[in-house]
């Protein structure tokens, strides 16, 4: 009897244990937070890598790239002590044509009553080939109208301070009274456009200047560059006299450079040509404005913009 009771007790306890197990299984478990598996990145294409590299480029890097596209290098020119070359270069620095555009030099002229150390001028890239310093000082003393040198021979300045407003202002066409033509307008009138100079070399600036100076005195020669600073193969040349500019353009046959025929025209004709290409026309005041309906919004056309940019680079 005692054995049967023990078996019953064991059976009852075992049933209770099984029931408790079932209940334990049936109890809902708290959901554990899902951990997202890291997504595998798709391999980047060459195009995407290129775009990223362009975006990541800092301004200094972009400026360095553009600077590297400028091939002309004055340091490759032969050393010289020619007083005419020295005076010509320094007078260009202080000229009405260059000084307003040269922020560094213009800033110096506004200090110390316009006096600038000649030793500072001698450090400019196109002046480093000239030596000794005493030769530079002596050459600058020969300037007749533009420059004057201090008594101690250490400083130089313009005899007449730059009139920035006169260098850029134009006479009004709304009055019957004729006003003197501004210096800027005079310089524009005696400037020409020429194209066909090929690839840039380290001596291009110097060689092209010499090419035009063999024809007549010039005030400046500016190599035209694209946005990335690459040489376009064309230049703007400002002659010292309007008659010389007209004679150069009137040459028949047209002039050539290193065997290549040059495309030449006045700077005014070039500006008019480009204005017509881009849909600009002259308004009553002589300025340029785009023709058509100004109130109509223009649709963005990526292909057209690319073509315009390409045309601008090739011009």
Q: What is the pLDDT of residues 156-197, one digit of tens each?
A: 999 999 887 655 444 334 444 556 678 889 999 999 999 999
Q: Where residue 137 falls among pLDDT bands split at 50, 70, 90?
A: very high
End-to-end distance of the chain based on CA atoms, in angstroms? 119
304 half-sphere exposure, CB direction, 13 A CA radius:
5
d(CA 181, CA 98): 19
d(CA 129, CA 76): 9
Q: Give strand pairing partners of 155.
A: 117
Does residue 62 contact residue 128 with C-beta atoms inside 8 Å? no
- pLDDT for 69 equals 86
| pLDDT tens by residue, 57-76 | 566 665 655 667 899 898 88
Q: Where residue 279 falls among pLDDT bands split at 50, 70, 90?
A: confident
Q: Where residue 25 falls among pLDDT bands split at 50, 70, 90?
A: very low
The pTM of the full predicted model, rounded to 2 decimals, is: 0.63
Over residues 96-104, the mean pLDDT reads 92
The radius of gyration of the chain from alpha carbons, rounded to an integer in Å, stands at 38
Q: Cβ atoms within 10 A of the Cβ of 313, count?
A: 13
| Between residues 306 and 9, the one the model is more confident about | 306
Question: Taking CA 244 as the corner, what is the angle to CA 216 and CA 168, rounded to the nearest 5 degrees?
Answer: 105
Distances (CA, A) of 237 to 20, 63, 127, 227, 274: 103, 26, 21, 20, 18
Does residue 227 contact residue 311 with C-beta atoms inside 8 Å? no
- pLDDT for 226 equals 95
195 half-sphere exposure, CB direction, 13 A CA radius:
11
Whether 264 has a pLDDT exceeding 70, the answer reads yes
- pLDDT for 74 equals 86
- pLDDT for 181 equals 73
Does residue 207 contact residue 71 with C-beta atoms inside 8 Å? no
Out of 21-25, 95-99, 184-188, pick the least confident: 21-25
Nearest to 116 by CA among 148, 145, 83, 85: 148
Domains of the chain plus CATH, in order, are 74-162 (1.10.10.10), 181-295 (3.30.70.330)
Q: Where residue 300 falls among pLDDT bands split at 50, 70, 90?
A: low
| pLDDT tens by residue, 206-254 | 999 999 999 999 999 999 999 999 999 999 999 999 999 999 999 999 9
Whether 99 has a pLDDT exceeding 50, the answer reads yes
Nearest to 196 by CA among 258, 262, 254, 251: 262
| Between residues 120 and 5, the one the model is more confident about | 120
Over residues 85-112, the mean pLDDT reads 93
- pLDDT for 41 equals 55
């Amino acid at each position: 009897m005692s054995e049967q009771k023990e078996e019953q007790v064991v059976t009852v306890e075992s049933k209770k244990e099984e029931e408790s197990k079932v209940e334990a299984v049936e109890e809902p478990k708290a959901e554990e937070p899902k951990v997202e598996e890291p997504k595998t990145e798709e391999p980047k294409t060459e195009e995407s890598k290129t775009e990223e590299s362009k975006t990541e480029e800092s301004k200094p890097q972009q400026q360095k790239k553009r600077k590297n596209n400028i091939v002309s290098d004055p340091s490759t020119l032969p050393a010289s002590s020619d007083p005419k070359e020295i005076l010509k270069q320094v007078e260009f620095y202080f000229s009405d044509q260059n000084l307003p555009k040269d922020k560094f030099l213009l800033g110096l002229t506004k200090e110390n009553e316009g006096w600038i150390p000649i030793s500072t001028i001698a450090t400019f890239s196109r002046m480093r080939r000239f030596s000794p310093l005493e030769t530079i000082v002596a050459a600058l003393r020969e300037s007749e109208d533009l420059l004057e040198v201090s008594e101690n021979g250490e400083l130089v300045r313009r005899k007449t301070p730059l009139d920035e407003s006169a260098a850029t202002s134009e006479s009004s066409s709304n009055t019957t009274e004729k006003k003197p033509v501004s210096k800027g307008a005079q310089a524009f009138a005696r400037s020409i456009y020429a194209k066909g100079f090929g690839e840039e070399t380290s001596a291009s600036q110097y060689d092209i200047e010499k090419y035009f100076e063999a024809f007549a005195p010039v005030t400046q020669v500016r190599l035209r560059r694209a946005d990335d600073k690459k040489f376009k193969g064309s230049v703007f040349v400002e002659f010292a006299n309007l008659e010389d500019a007209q004679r150069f353009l009137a040459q028949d046959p047209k002039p050539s450079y290193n065997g290549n025929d040059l495309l030449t025209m006045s700077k005014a004709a070039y500006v008019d040509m480009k204005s017509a290409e881009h849909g600009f026309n002259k308004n009553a005041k002589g300025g340029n404005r785009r023709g058509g309906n100004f109130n109509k919004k223009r649709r963005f056309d990526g292909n057209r913009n690319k073509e315009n940019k390409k045309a601008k680079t090739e011009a």
